[in-house]
Amino acid sequence: MKTVLILGAGIGGIEIARELSINSGNEDNIHLLKIIVFEKEEQSVFSPSLPWLMVGKRKSDQIYKSTKNIEASGLEVVKGEIEIVDPENISVTVKDEEYKGDYMVVSLGVEQQAKYKLDEYGYNFFQLKGAEGFYAELERFTGGKIAVLIASLPYKSPAAPYEAAMLIQDYISNKGLSNKTEISIYTPEKEPMEFAGEEASSELKSLLMKKGIKYFSSHQITSATKNSLEFDDFENYSFDLLAFTPEHLSPAVIRKSNLAGKSGWIEVDELNMETAYPNVYAIGDIVDLTLESGTSLPKLGIFARSQAKIVAHNIGRKIGNKESNKTFNAEGEYFIESGEGKAIPAKGHFYTSSNEKVDLKTPDHWGHIKKWWSEKYWLFKNF
Ligand SMILES: Cc1cc2nc3c(=O)[nH]c(=O)nc-3n(C[C@H](O)[C@H](O)[C@H](O)COP(=O)(O)OP(=O)(O)OC[C@H]3O[C@@H](n4cnc5c(N)ncnc54)[C@H](O)[C@@H]3O)c2cc1C
């Protein structure tokens, strides 16, 4: 029996574990493929719902499930921090025990670091605790300055800070605090979601302006104090409440392995996600896929999932001694919450030579419903 090692039980890891289990013919008590998932956390959080948690539209226990309960036949979950990844031998080490496989799929996401003591002065809303803590303060907020800070590039889900700012604005407006509140976004980017193309970027910017959200582009943070942020223009900006995205690094276990490319992230074949090591794949946020334009494929759950489907299918073909025949096309749709129960449908197609990589539609209720459904479906079908 072949064994597949899956590193990480986040969005990419769960999707591939389930696809492999379903397509291998595994059933209760009939296991044709051994699937071992390695995960260090007890909980698997559905991150696209974190912006809702920030504004009280979710409670934390509504957006995570126990990694022990992943619903897939023939699946073993090994709980613990992966200490060594050895792509030559297709093996990993957890708590000094080595596990060997025939195939390996790395989906370890990103490592988050709060520099400049930001976690003392504000809330990292890219994590459950931070999003929860932000809402506890927002509930007590009676007016003042709210800052949404993008601490460094690249970061996953490049629409999330904009989504967060628009949801906060909606909350503030519903509480009747708009005339006493200033919401500002600070970012090192030149334009919002600049990788998306000029049109999408300027549409998003005008929506922020219309909502009265201030936008400070090309602002790289250099230091922070309890109530102020300093940027590379040497200006100080004060705040009363801060939500931030942390610095994103490739996980340490990968940086010290042979899988890390020059940037620390994993480089793969852009069509089949195989690394330089045969039968070793990487998917999701941990991958650095450089596009023709020189920018990188944005780190999004929709891509982690479509890559997982492709890799699961191709591993199945290989096990049956058939050629891999599915390729990743870097296309997908996601939804950016914009307040008032609406979301912006955003269709991305990143392997096109056109500079316009994302089409943004006008915010609508249907987009919001689709986002709501994707959360419910994910949490229901996988656990
Ligand atoms: C606020 C926010 C909003 C978002 N909104 C959207 C959205 O609307 N649409 C969308 O498509 N995407 C969205 N995303 C992005 C999406 O969540 C990620 O792209 C997706 O989770 C990537 O999947 P992954 O499997 O690569 O990584 P992850 O889901 O992060 O999973 C990685 C897993 O690896 C585990 N791990 C790491 N290191 C180790 C180790 N050494 N040992 C054992 N386990 C380890 C981690 O604990 C984690 O469970 C959002 C993200 C955030 C933060």
DSSP string, 235-295: -EEE-SEEEEE-EEE--HHHHTSTTB-TTSSBP--TTT-B-SSTTEEE-GGGB--B-TTSS
In eight-state DSSP terms, residue 9 is: -
Please compute the mean of the pLDDT values over residues 150-163 and round it to a whole number: 96
Name the 3-class secondary structure at 363. Answer: coil
Residue whose C-alpha is closest to residue 189's, from 164, 165, 159: 159
**Distance from Cα 355 to the centre of ligand 1, integer Å:** 27
Q: How big is the chain by its Cα radius of gyration, in Å?
A: 21
Choices 1.10.486.10, 3.40.50.2300, 3.30.365.10, 3.50.50.60: CATH for 112-248: 3.50.50.60
Index of the ligand 1 atom closest to the CA of residue 46 = 17
3-state DSSP: the chain helix, strand, coil percent, rounded to 5?
30, 30, 40
Whether pLDDT at 29 is above 80: no
Sequence-distant (≥ 6) Cβ neighbours of residue 359 within 8 angstroms: 200, 346, 347
Domain boundaries, the chain: 2-46+61-110+250-329, 112-248
Residues in contact with ligand 1 (CB, 6 Å cut-off): 8-13, 38-41, 44, 47-48, 50-51, 81-82, 107-109, 126, 156-157, 160, 251, 253, 284-286, 299-302, 304, 334
pLDDT on residue 131: 98
Do 85 and 253 contact (CB within 8 A), yes or no? yes
| Band of residue 125 on the pLDDT scale cut at 50, 70, 90 | very high
Measured CA to CA, the distance from residue 348 to residue 158 in angstroms comes to 12
Tell me the longest C-alpha to C-alpha distance in the chain.
66
Residue whose C-alpha is closest to residue 187's, from 199, 195, 176: 195
Whether the domain at 2-46+61-110+250-329 and the domain at 112-248 fall into the same CATH topology: yes
HSE-CB for 6 with a 13 A CA cutoff: 29
Please compute the mean of the pLDDT values over residues 163-175 and round it to a whole number: 98
Measured CA to CA, the distance from residue 219 to residue 225 in angstroms comes to 16
Element (H, E) at 103: strand 103-106
pLDDT on residue 9: 96
pLDDT on residue 23: 87
Tell me the helices (H) and strands (E) count for the chain, helix number first: 9, 23
What's the CATH number for 2-46+61-110+250-329?
3.50.50.60
Q: What is the pLDDT of residues 213-254, one digit of tens each?
A: 999 999 999 999 999 999 998 889 999 999 999 999 999 999
Beta strands 111-113 and 358-360, pairing class: unpaired
Please compute the mean of the pLDDT values over residues 3-25 and round it to a whole number: 95
| Band of residue 28 on the pLDDT scale cut at 50, 70, 90 | confident
Q: What is the pLDDT of residues 180-203, one digit of tens each?
A: 999 999 999 999 998 999 999 999
Which of 84, 107, 157, 305, when mutated, tests ligand 1's pocket best, judged by the most ligand atoms within 8 Å of its CB?
157
Which of 7, 11, 55, 163, when mutated, tests ligand 1's pocket best, judged by the most ligand atoms within 8 Å of its CB?
11
141: number of Cβ within 10 Å: 17
Which of 108, 123, 126, 373, when mutated, tests ligand 1's pocket best, judged by the most ligand atoms within 8 Å of its CB?
108
140: number of Cβ within 10 Å: 7
pLDDT on residue 32: 85
Do 212 and 242 contact (CB within 8 A), yes or no? no
Do 204 and 165 contact (CB within 8 A), yes or no? no
Do 39 and 69 contact (CB within 8 A), yes or no? no
Instruction: Please calculate the CA angle 89-91-94 and round it to the nearest 5 degrees.
Output: 150
Whether the CA torsion 86, 287, 107, 279 is positive or negative: it is: negative
Place of tokens 């719902």: 49
